[in-house]
Amino acid sequence: MTNTLITFEGKYGSSKRAAEILGYILGNTKLYSVEDAPKDLADYKNIIFIFGFYGPYTAAATKAYIKLVQNQLAGHKIGVVGVGIAEADFASYRPAIAECLGRAEDIALFVEGELRLDRISPQDLKALEMFSKITGLVNEDKGNFSVQAVTSVAEQFIKVFNVPSAPMERSKLKKEIEHFVTGHNTFALATGTGDFVRCTPIEYQYIEGCFYLITEGGMKFKSILQNKSVSMGIFDKYDNMSNVKGLQITGEAEIVPLMSEEYCKVLKQKDVNQSALKKMPINLYLLKITPRKFEFLNSDFKKTGFDSKQIYEVK
């Protein structure tokens, strides 16, 4: 797992809130106001600089910090997040950051901040009033900071930052995943729709790349009938960080029709035949989950020169 340093610069809290949300979602992060950020970057592979917009004073402390640590940035992935009212302004601030870095950032994204007149300092309020007189723009509350918008930004950072630096060859990784899956028979199935969520421990069968679950029914179907997207977790008992094995799977669920050829074939593998099914006082339902993505954390991988976390997307 690679560590990420997140620095933030701002006067009224939006930059810090954005940094906190990114920290939660990316994981393996440490947050600092840019004035307090560490001078030694040896513990970090990724760095995110977050700053608010203040005209000619924008990112002044961030640029000073970058110049201070510039000789340590080689090999690091760099992200920049601008927090302001107008996204168009972000483009004018980025070149100065790139100049300090000595190169373009790996990812740069905008987050809408907010301006609330009753929260700003008298000095800033006076400056806004002068700006309003010069431009004719109405001096009023602006912008809406959105947690959802920042989580979307975090997802884009994950795509750039959470790429294994030492990936395992695809066919080998597939074999490792299948070995782990077939070595277990139970996972935690997470389903959800709207504000309803459910997590169900349930036995599975792994057949030809898909997971099959035999079940009497239950509230998990409330979600699956409305939202086919599901997530599953298979894991070993945790002892310590040097011995961690866990597999997160995302996929799509479907209900296999009762007594269909596929239904009977799967149940037969559990020694349940059609005559036995007909005699039962209840129906047994069959869920089929087609995996789309595997995220495998396995500390043993590091012993053979690979990153401990590997990602396998099903084509």
pLDDT tens, position by position, 199-223: 999 999 999 999 999 999 999 999 9
Residue 20, C-beta contacts closer than 8 angstroms, at least 6 positions apart: 31
Instruction: Write the CATH number for 109.
Output: 3.40.50.360
User: Domain check: are 96 and 134 in the same one?
Assistant: yes
Tell me which residue range forms the domain holding 201.
Answer: 170-313
User: Domain check: are 149 and 10 in the same one?
Assistant: yes
User: Domain check: are 91 and 118 in the same one?
Assistant: yes
| d(C-alpha 105, C-alpha 119), whole Å | 32
Instruction: Write the CATH number for 254.
Output: 2.30.110.10
Mean pLDDT over the full length of the chain: 92
Of 136, 161, 186, which residue is a domain's last? 161
Report in angstroms the alpha-carbon separations of 266 from 174, 204, 217.
23, 11, 17
User: Domain check: are 50 and 176 in the same one?
Assistant: no
pLDDT-derived band at 69, boundaries 50, 70, 90: very high
User: Domain check: are 152 and 208 in the same one?
Assistant: no
User: Domain check: are 279 and 226 in the same one?
Assistant: yes
Please tell me the predicted confidence (pLDDT) of residue 220: 97
User: Domain check: are 204 and 249 in the same one?
Assistant: yes
Please tell me the predicted confidence (pLDDT) of residue 277: 85
User: Domain check: are 280 and 185 in the same one?
Assistant: yes
Residue 75, C-beta contacts closer than 8 angstroms, at least 6 positions apart: 45
Yes or no: say if 161 and 26 are a contact pair by the CB < 8 Å rule.
yes
- Residue 122 — left, alpha, or beta (φ > 0 → left; ψ -120 to 50 → alpha)? alpha
- Residue 194 — left, alpha, or beta (φ > 0 → left; ψ -120 to 50 → alpha)? left
User: Domain check: are 204 and 90 in the same one?
Assistant: no
User: Domain check: are 181 and 127 in the same one?
Assistant: no
Phi, psi angle pair for 208, to nearest 5°: 50, 45
Three-state DSSP state, 176: helix
Burial of residue 301, with CB atoms counted within 10 A of its CB: 0-12 exposed, 13-18 middle, 19 or more buried: buried
pLDDT tens, position by position, 235-289: 999 888 778 999 999 999 999 999 999 999 999 999 888 888 888 899 999 999 9
Find the mean pLDDT for residues 76-87: 94
pLDDT-derived band at 55, boundaries 50, 70, 90: confident
User: Domain check: are 122 and 179 in the same one?
Assistant: no
> What is the DSSP secondary structure assignment for residue 34, as one 8-state letter?
G
Please tell me the predicted confidence (pLDDT) of residue 249: 98
Question: In the numeric block, which tokens belong to residue 71?
Answer: 């000789």
Yes or no: say if 9 and 51 are a contact pair by the CB < 8 Å rule.
yes
| d(C-alpha 288, C-alpha 116), whole Å | 51
The torsion of the CA quartet 101, 33, 51, 139, rounded to 10 degrees, works out to: -150
Yes or no: say if 244 and 298 are a contact pair by the CB < 8 Å rule.
yes
Burial of residue 36, with CB atoms counted within 10 A of its CB: 0-12 exposed, 13-18 middle, 19 or more buried: exposed
Q: How many domains does the chain have?
A: 2
Question: In the numeric block, which tokens belong to residue 258?
Answer: 């009762």
How do 210-215 and 205-207 pair as beta strands?
Answer: antiparallel
The torsion of the CA quartet 278, 283, 288, 294, rounded to 10 degrees, works out to: -130
DSSP sequence for 115-140: B-GGGS-HHHHHHHHHHHHHH-----
User: Domain check: are 237 and 133 in the same one?
Assistant: no
| d(C-alpha 258, C-alpha 255), whole Å | 9
Of 161, 183, 207, which residue is a domain's last? 161
| d(C-alpha 247, C-alpha 211), whole Å | 14
